[in-house]
Amino acid sequence: MADRIFEEQRLADVYDLFDSAERPDLAPYIAMAEEFNAHTVIDLGCGTGNLACRLAALGKEVIGVDPAAASLKVANRKTYADQVNWIHGTVATLPSLQTDLITMTGNVAQVFVTDDEWLSTLIKCRNIISPGGRLVFEVRDPEKEAWKNWNREQTYKVIEVPEIGKIERWHDLLDVQLPLVTFRHTFVFHNDGQVLTSESTLKFRSKSEIMDSLFKANLLVEDIRDAPDRPGLEFVFIARSPELSK
């Protein structure tokens, strides 16, 4: 089940408005799709479809997968959305197919809070990736303790939206029981005074734990890169599906 921030339509409708229109965090994924000459891409946990639509604009054959129907409704409004195959569900709901590249951007790889769920997802990804194809995802480095900045003082933002009015948003840290961290998003809509909240829990796995899980899923760690938009704070894993033996 998706968090309310993605599943509540009013929240999904304004989700993108709090981010930079350029979304610099997505640029490395677009560059890697070109670097790896990926013709087919599955954006797992695609959310409101920013990456999927930008890849479709480049002529890629793209599938956007997400468990939140409200987010997919927003995605379907975007330019090039008609060139993306949107699927409401998870990797487990995908039909039998093969793809050159699977991406998991943002917090997607950290929402799998049990090791069984995470390993199962990796195995399903491996079964879908073509031999020699890749899985690319990012995770926050737990040693950097990103959650220490998840408070109202450091996350507060207010925007003015035509026909909607002023909206406030901030985060509050609720619980840290490593490797699990729980926090709450709060949105205040000034036009009618409605306050909506959404709680999220992420799992902070270490680099070695991620590498072990990829090994168990029979995915080869090809590279671990930095995230240009958060230098020194994240790991970007590039895992390759084994080539077929000759």
**CATH number of the domain located at residue range(s) 4-142+205-240 in this protein:** 3.40.50.150
Q: How far is CA 141 from the centre of its chain?
A: 16
Asked if residues 131 and 241 have their Cβ atoms less than 8 Å apart, the reply is: yes
Rounded to whole angstroms, the Cα distance separating 123 from 218 reads: 8
Pick the more confident residue, 136 or 245. Answer: 136
**Considering the chain, what percentage of its residues have pLDDT values greater than 70?**
98
pLDDT (mean) for 41-52: 97
Structure tokens at 208: 């070695």
Q: Compute the mean pLDDT over every residue in the chain, rounded to the nearest whole number.
A: 95
* pLDDT tier at 20, thresholds 50, 70, 90: confident
Q: Tell me: pLDDT of 32 over 80.
A: yes
Asked if residues 69 and 88 have their Cβ atoms less than 8 Å apart, the reply is: yes
Please state at what angle helix 27-35 crosses helix 50-57, rounded to 10 degrees.
40
Strands 84-88, 234-240: pairing kind: unpaired
Question: How confident is the model at residue 134, as a pLDDT?
Answer: 98
* pLDDT tier at 246, thresholds 50, 70, 90: very low
The pLDDT tens digits of the residues spanning 50-74 come to 999 999 999 999 999 999 999 999 9
What are the sequence ranges of the domains in the chain?
A: 4-142+205-240, 144-203
Give the neighbor-by-neighbor strand order of the sheet with 40-44: 84-88, 61-66, 40-44, 99-104, 129-140, 234-240, 220-225
Rounded to whole angstroms, the Cα distance separating 178 from 203 reads: 8
Question: How confident is the model at residue 2, as a pLDDT?
Answer: 75
pLDDT-wise least confident of 40-44, 90-94, 214-218? 90-94
pLDDT (mean) for 11-34: 91
Question: How confident is the model at residue 16, as a pLDDT?
Answer: 94
Q: Please report, for residues 13, 16, 47, 147, the alpha-carbon distance to residue 105 in angstroms, rounded to integers and kept in the order given.
A: 19, 15, 10, 18
pTM, entire model = 0.95
